[in-house]
Amino acid sequence: MHLLIILLQSVYTIAVTALAFYGFNALWLTWLAPRRVLTDRNKANINSQITNQLPSVTIQLPIYNERHVIERLIRACTNLDYPKEKLQIQILDDSTDQTSMIADRCAERAACKGYNIKIVRRTDRSGFKAGALEHAFPLAIGEFIAIFDADFVPPIDFLLRTVPHLQQNEQLGFLQTRWGHLNTTYSPLTRSQSLALDGHFVIEQAARQFAGYAFGFNGSAGIWRRDCIADPHVGGWQADTLCEDLDLSYRAQLVGWQPSFLPQIEVPAEIPPQLAAFKRQQFRWAKGSIQTLRKCGWRVWQSDWSFGKRVQALVHLAGYLLHPMLLLILLVSLPLTLLHINPAWPLAYLSIASIGPPFLYAVAQRRLHPQTWLQRWSYIGLLTLLGFGLSLNNTVAVIEACLGRPSSFLRTPKFHVEKSSDHWHKSSYRLPLTPLFWGEIALLLYAITTAIIAGMADRWSTLIFILLYIGGFGLMIGMELWERASEWVRRTGKAVFGWSTSQ
């Protein structure tokens, strides 16, 4: 019994300390982030200097079953303000549905307008997105390679504002721009996701850039130098992680290539409007990040980077370990309460770290939207509950990565949802419930039991914290059921609880 108590207390202490560390690190990054990062002061000068010396650029569009958005993407790329004779567009099409037909039609139309546009198809999807990029790389003729996922809409001046930065510094291996959002106001779910993404780009990425820390390519809305990808010490695109972008960017930085982040350039994209799609995206990011940690972590630690840079790189790669820590705290809280053990009081001073993430998101919104930041930040409560609710989903992803268990690259479906009148419910891309839904129900019941026992034992600090798990898992379950009901109503036109599509 004594060993069990020590074990439970140790698990609780480690988990709480890890969460506090990441909370303090959020405060540190917020402090580091430059105050003015959204002004492109050099735009006019750079453009005027290099207009007559533009290099060749290849745009790669990796797609798989994207019939709702492929036409929008191709149209945006052919609208880019860049000389046609120096631009190549590659559509890396692994699709198995009518997306291919739409892509063919769009490519033919663009070719008639004088664009060098090619569709690159493979006989199989080996390596998924990384495999498609690696397969098309020898066919790319550009000195620089821009990459856009299917749901992105690059602004017309994207290349003119980014390529000069790569021209001016031959050591720049890749350049990342800030993601914007096409459908922030679509639903509370998309508002919460936009809050998290803005915090990542406006604060975290900007702070890492400013401090000289390593950071990752985000997979889309960025440009690579061809020589960097082709560098034999880098190794090109590799498919042994689900975050091929993060993997390649770290391998490039480890051999001396420099990264660049331009937060002043915004490229809008579609936020997943379906909870299941959001959870799938998070699962892939969580598993891919930990796979990259396993693959590159030791190289990072043995590198000649400064101690601070190495620590920040490992913290960055290990970020999704927070979700197993959250889940462990929930699981040990019940036995600790039953054993009348209260390990929380020595750790109470660490609770101040919990202000780190909310403060980071508030600062990001204040810098992006000075007039409406408070209204946008008001969704922090919902985002917090989503974080707790995702703990099972992302913990499974982390465990699979730690065990070296391979899995397919499950893409996040895109529905071309931009305004409130757009709907995804009838699309064949909508995702079904997963078995983890039942695990979330079990954890909700476990959390409720823990809360009841904590209340009976007057453990009010434990009770308040457990309420976040109840809210998080309850939110997941409620949203899943609501989306299923909405889907059924929109497909059948029949009413549920007095509500129908006519209302």
Residues designated as active site: 94, 245
Residue 503 to residue 498: CA distance in whole angstroms: 9
Q: Is the dihedral of CA 26, 30, 33, 39 positive or negative?
A: positive
Q: If residue 439 lies in a helix (H) or strand (E), which one and from where to where?
A: helix 436-456
Which DSSP category does 56 fall into?
P
Q: What is the full DSSP assignment across 375-393?
A: HHHTTHHHHHHHHHHTHHH
Residue 129 to residue 239: CA distance in whole angstroms: 8
User: How many other β-carbons are positioned within 10 Å of the β-carbon of residue 143?
Assistant: 17
Residue 159 to residue 47: CA distance in whole angstroms: 10
> How would you classify the pairing of strands 144-147 and 222-225?
antiparallel
List strands edge to edge, sheet with 258-269.
116-120, 87-93, 57-63, 144-147, 222-225, 172-181, 258-269
Tell me, rounded to whole angstroms, the distance of Cα 333 from its chain centroid. 30
Express the helix, strand and coil content of the chain in percent, nearest 5 each. Answer: 60, 10, 30
* SS3 assignment for 87-115: EEEEEEECCCCCHHHHHHHHHHHHHHCCC
Q: If residue 330 lies in a helix (H) or strand (E), which one and from where to where?
A: helix 322-338
- CA-CA distances (angstroms) from residue 281 to 175, 242, 393, 411? 23, 11, 10, 7
Q: Under 8 Å CB-to-CB from 276, ≥6 apart: which residues?
A: 430, 431, 432, 433, 434, 480, 483
